[in-house]
Amino acid sequence: MPSKKGYGFRAKSASTGLTAAATRYMNIERLAKITRSEAFLFCSRIEDTMSEKKLVVAVVGATGAVGREMLKTLESRNFPATEVVPFASARSAGTKVPYGDSELVVRELKEDVFEGIDIAIFSAGGSTSEKYAPHAAAAGCIVVDNSSAWRMDERCPLVVPEVNPDALEGHNGIIANPNCSTIQMVVALKPLHDAAGIRRVVVSTYQAVSGSGQKGISELETQVRQMFNLKEPEVNVYPHRIAFNCIPHIDVFLENDYTKEEMKMVHETVKIMRDPNVKVTATCVRVPVFYGHSESVNIETERKLSAKEARAILAQAPGVQVYDNPSEKMHPLAIDAAGEDQTYVGRIREDETIPNGLNLWIVADNIRKGAALNAVQIAEELLRRDLLGVKDRTVFIKK
């Protein structure tokens, strides 16, 4: 099984052997110089207040590659959920998924499960989102949806928290998480756009197989093993063999001969940046990498931006880590970005064929920033802005 560097290594402190509550009583007792029973009363009052604020979070598609990462992310970021409920298809109902030190039993997703759930993070594919998200919103449960189903719907904000968090204000109950390749690109491009006005973007992606979920990971692993054993590799998931190959075809082809994945980058970038003047053209390529999408990005700006200025701007940008030292052979690599939360930018240099052009190499973990992490950050932003609840529950229900 391919391992993912940095995954599952969150060491838990067990130094005192005390429960968190007991430690709290003792600390308060010491700090406030009060008796143990007074400290106990004080703490139980705080805990009562906290327990009044129930926050129930569902993960839909919890058994998938992204769903499992969502559970891990909720736990590792200490998301203040009082209860986390995993859902998947009937096939997975009753199985268990890891959550922190424990396991949760997967429930079958049905239309009527959303009553009493505050936030449901979906990653179960477009058709599942299309069918179930309106039922969630109608029950007052906010959906943060990772599929492409709702992204271009005018009723749904399309959000990258570092770029356009205010788009969440006035949401209607379904919030869309952008496409993985788009997320990492806009995280890096937004600060450059603010500084110099991006007019044109030419992007080529190098996308990992984990973008297609567990089945993509298995396909690459199986084909490599078959070829290593001099067997004919079976081709099941992608239109061609992916082992030791690059395939310029992700998602379906459209009438203009671009793929849907490429056109997602074109349209989603404009919606997130709220600027139709940003013209994007994309070529999306599947490469035999397990985790981490890489992108070669050429931009043309209205005002001149030197490589040095761009590097300084990106060094300050939220969610971005500049990693760019050619003389030391330091560039962002998919194998280093895997398991990390940042979007890495390197190979920053001026395009010498036009007056105002830059080339960049942008890499991020497609399952984390490209999917699970961005979705959890959206949920965190909803809490920060006090935007829980659905004001008009009829928006997605046809009367």
Q: Which residues are catalytic?
A: 180, 293
Q: 64 contacts which partner out of ligand 25A, ligand L14, none, CB within 5 to 8 A by kind?
A: ligand 25A
CB-CB neighbours of 11 under 10 Å: 5
Nearer to ligand L14, 120 or 217 (CB): 217
DSSP 88: E
The tokens of 86 are what? 């995993």
* Total binding residues toward ligand 25A, as defined by CB under 6 A: 29
Residues 6+ apart with CB under 8 A from 300: 198, 199, 200, 201, 351, 354, 356, 357
> Please, what sign has the CA dihedral across residues 301, 307, 312, 314?
positive
Q: For binding to ligand L14 (CB under 6 A), which residues are involved?
A: 148, 179-180, 207, 211-212, 250, 261, 264
Contact mark string toward ligand 25A, 215..234, x via CB under 6 A: x--x----------------
**Least distance from C-beta 108 to ligand 25A, angstroms?**
8
Amino acid identity for residue 376 in this structure: V
Q: 218 contacts which partner out of ligand 25A, ligand L14, none, CB within 5 to 8 A by kind?
A: ligand 25A
> Please, what sign has the CA dihedral across residues 157, 293, 282, 255?
negative
Interatomic CA distance for residues 20 and 3, integer angstroms:
32
Whose CA is closest to 78, among 391, 380, 393? 380
Nearer to ligand 25A, 288 or 357 (CB): 288
Interatomic CA distance for residues 177 and 382, integer angstroms:
13
Interface of this chain with ligand 25A, residues 103 to 122, rule: CB under 6 A: 109
**Least distance from C-beta 239 to ligand L14, angstroms?**
12
Is the Cβ–Cβ distance between 133 and 393 less than 8 Å? no
Residues 6+ apart with CB under 8 A from 49: none
- Is residue 158 at the binding interface for ligand 25A, with CB under 6 A as the rule? no
- Is residue 292 at the binding interface for ligand 25A, with CB under 6 A as the rule? no
- Is residue 174 at the binding interface for ligand 25A, with CB under 6 A as the rule? no
| Binds ligand 25A by CB under 6 A, chosen from 64, 134, 332, 357 | 64
Interatomic CA distance for residues 350 and 369, integer angstroms:
27
- Is residue 91 at the binding interface for ligand 25A, with CB under 6 A as the rule? yes
Nearer to ligand 25A, 261 or 300 (CB): 261
Is the Cβ–Cβ distance between 181 and 370 less than 8 Å? yes
Interatomic CA distance for residues 213 and 24, integer angstroms:
42
Interatomic CA distance for residues 86 and 77, integer angstroms:
18
**Span near ligand 25A by CB under 6 A; candidates 211-219, 262-270, 292-300, 335-343:** 211-219
| Nearest residue (beta carbon) to ligand L14 | 211
**Least distance from C-beta 295 to ligand L14, angstroms?**
13
CB-CB neighbours of 310 under 10 Å: 25
Q: 264 contacts which partner out of ligand L14, ligand 25A, none, CB within 5 to 8 A by kind?
A: ligand L14
- Is residue 65 at the binding interface for ligand 25A, with CB under 6 A as the rule? yes
* Three-state DSSP state, 330: strand
**Least distance from C-beta 337 to ligand L14, angstroms?**
15
Nearer to ligand 25A, 346 or 370 (CB): 370
**Least distance from C-beta 151 to ligand L14, angstroms?**
8
Site for ligand 25A, rule CB under 6 A = 61-67, 88-89, 91-92, 109, 123-126, 128, 146-148, 180, 211, 213-215, 218, 366, 370-371
